[in-house]
Amino acid sequence: MREAGALANELSKKYPPDTIVKMRTLPTIRAAIENSQTHPSRAIELLQDAASVELGDFLVAYTRGQAYLLLHRGREAAAEFQKILDRPYLVINYPLGC
């Protein structure tokens, strides 16, 4: 996860605040790091910043769903995963999403 954190820091310096990288990609990377370090509440908090642009990428909902699972909040996790199932076009270009 150290590499992911370093990548996130590099991207943060490279991109201006009003880009998808700053609004969606970085919060998702940082939330995934928090999930891996068993800090799911922090992951959910980080993903609040991505809420306005999350429907363009299923990884936000997926990462938030994983955080809810870590917190044993199955109903909220299911709601996040349902967002992905309701929008199959989000995963059409992802090899693992088919």
pLDDT digits (tens, 9 = 90+) for 1-15: 778 888 888 888 888
- For residues 74 and 21, which has the higher predicted lDDT (pLDDT)? 74
Domain boundaries, the chain: 2-97
CA distance 72 to 75: 9
CB atoms < 10 A from the CB of 13, how many?
Answer: 7
CATH dotted code for 2-97: 1.25.40.10
Query: pLDDT digit string (tens) for 45-83?
Result: 999 978 888 777 889 999 999 999 999 999 999 999 999
| pTM to 2 decimal places | 0.84
pLDDT at 9: 85
Reduced to 3 DSSP states, what percent helix, strand and coil does the chain have, rounded to the nearest 5? 80, 0, 20
pLDDT, mean of residues 9-34: 87
